[in-house]
A = this chain, B = another copy of it.
Amino acid sequence: MTMQNDLLLRVLSGEKTERPPVWVMRQAGRILPEYRAVRSRLSGFKELVETPELACEVTLQPVDLLGVDAAILFSDILVVPEAMGLPYELIEKVGPRFPETIGSAADLARLHPVEPEEHLRYVMDAMRMTRQALDGRVPLIGFAGAPWTIFCYMVEGGGSKEWSRARRMLRSEPVLAEELLDRITEATIAYLNAQVKAGAQVLQLFDSWAGALDSTLFERYSLPRLRRICEAVDGAPLIVFAKGAGWQLERLAALPCAALGIDWHTPIAEARRRAPGHVLQGNLDPSVLYGSEAEVREATQRMLSDFGRGGHVANLGHGVYPDIDPDRVRAFIDEVKRSGVEG
């Protein structure tokens, strides 16, 4: 089956293309009324994640409704710790919560390795179903959380501003911390490789809380696991998005991955200077989409021109906010697409 739109694959393989491909982090989700219609029939977010037909349906929505150049499977990074033996709940308007957390070697002993086709069968089924339903229209992206980010949730038990409990474990129990990080790493490798087998054509690794680490901790605890994953995952180009870690870009640029995600805090010129020659993905501040259509188009143009020609996957610099008007997202996407026509 040939891809009708393989822009993203071509850019990630280093090819020069007529324009940057564009997709939007959290494109499948609450900004779309069509998503909310599906969601409102269900008992909760997890039912959506765990029902392949529904996950497939909402994954396709932004391809049809927004015109993005890639689909990203609707799922959650926290399915991995759950598959390891630590179940989570999603509490409306609060966020994820793990009734049990990891604080000792005894807690660690209760975790087990992940067999994706067994413990995460619903993701694999959703991936297969979506790949088939896409029928080559656009590439399908799979994803996982990076080990440090998953570690944060497993130790804290929920969201946090500072992740000081997770960092406390790095400082006070480094051996336990390394062991937990290694287990998450192996589970993640198995999971990502299984996603590729099930149909993922691109992968993204979200180190959403990389910004909670200083250079020393990042280099010791996060970076080696990102490297291990880059080296052990096969068959699809990998995008590493370490949010809040702009200061670490030189180190990230040494990873054997296809592209680096850039958050909206990081000035584009700094990113280009620190990761020269790399494919970069990002990085419009999602709050730009609260402005007028003209402002969205103008900011998008500025972003495109700052990244320059080639080596760029257009995206936001963070997930789109739920109360953003889908028309503004369309204006962003349209402006990227027009850049090819005019350029």
A residues apposed to B, CB below 8 Å:
159, 161-162, 164, 167-168, 170-172, 211, 214-215, 217, 244, 246-247, 264-267, 270, 285-288, 290-291, 295, 318, 321, 323
Contacts and interface: CB of A to CB of B under 8 A. Distances in A.
A164 B247 contact: no
A161 B159 contact: yes
A331 B264 CA distance: 38
Contact of A170 (B167, B244, B287): B287
A270 B248 CA distance: 12
Contact of A285 (B214, B286, B287, B295): B214
Nearest to A319: B162
A267 B251 CA distance: 13
B247 A267 contact: yes
A286 B164 contact: yes
Contact of A291 (B171, B214, B285, B323): B171
Nearest to A295: B171
Most chain B beta carbons < 10 A, residue from A162, A168, A267, A286:
A168
Contacts of A318: 162
Given A164-B286, A247-B265, 9 more contacts: A162-B321, A164-B321, A167-B290, A168-B287, A171-B291, A214-B264, A215-B267, A246-B247, A247-B266
13 contacts: A161-B161, A162-B321, A168-B287, A168-B323, A170-B287, A171-B288, A171-B290, A172-B290, A214-B285, A217-B285, A244-B265, A246-B247, A247-B267
A247 B264 contact: no
B164 A287 contact: yes
A321 B171 CA distance: 14
A94 to B, nearest CB: 11
A209 B87 CA distance: 33
Contact of A265 (B161, B214, B267): B214
Nearest to A218: B265
A286 B264 CA distance: 26
A267 B216 CA distance: 10
A270 B287 contact: no
Contacts of A159: 161
A162 B164 CA distance: 18
A112 to B, nearest CB: 29
A210 B131 CA distance: 42
Nearest to A159: B161
A265 B188 CA distance: 27
Nearest to A270: B247
Contacts of A246: 247
Most chain B beta carbons < 10 A, residue from A159, A161, A265, A291:
A265
A78 B291 CA distance: 29
A6 to B, nearest CB: 32
Nearest to A268: B215
A285 B247 CA distance: 15
A109 B264 CA distance: 34
A287 B340 CA distance: 47
Nearest to A211: B265
Nearest to A292: B172
